[in-house]
Amino acid sequence: LVTASCTDGSTYVWDQRQPQKPLHTLAHGQPMMQLRPDQDRELEDVGVRYIEWSHNTGQLYTGSSDGFLKHWDTRRSPADVLLEDLVDTGRGILCGRLSPDHSSLLLGDEDGRLHLLSSSNGPSPEEQFCFRVAERWNIDN
């Protein structure tokens, strides 16, 4: 399968064996950012900025300017392709990355916040995170 995520808020999925028409159009909602009526969404909005295939065959995740992370299964019919809306970050999703074992997902939103999602069923320990400069390099030498 081949995908293309676009500024219209959709990801298009093609089967290479039948490239004339998309197999699926995976649509997100309206962007969090208010557009003026005279503005063209495809020119002013970032649309779908995050897409990543799952280790489960045919399944993928998309994140968009509507703030939603969606989970899809492209093996299903077009009417049932959306598995679920996993999370609403409240701000547009700009980037993301699954962990190597696919048990966690880190998302970045347009406000600069990070969202760490985990598939663990148990309670997660509360951790305090603090960013510090580890060392300063002298690059003048």
pLDDT digits (tens, 9 = 90+) for 14-39: 999 998 999 999 999 887 777 777 77
Domain spans of the chain, in order of start? 2-118
For residue 59, what pLDDT is reported? Answer: 93
Which three-class secondary structure state does DSSP give residue 82?
strand
pLDDT digit string, tens, across residues 59-117: 999 999 999 999 999 999 999 999 999 999 999 999 999 988 888 899 999 889 999 98
Output the pLDDT for position 137: 59
Helices (H), the chain: 41-44
Under the banding of pLDDT at 50, 70 and 90, the label for residue 46 is confident
- Taking only the tens place, the pLDDT of each residue in 117-130 is 887 665 555 555 45
The order of strands in the sheet holding 104-109 is 93-98, 104-109, 114-118
Under CATH, which architecture does the 2-118 domain have? Answer: 7 Propeller (2.130)
Contacts of 45 (CB under 8 A, 6+ apart): 7, 9, 31, 33, 35, 65
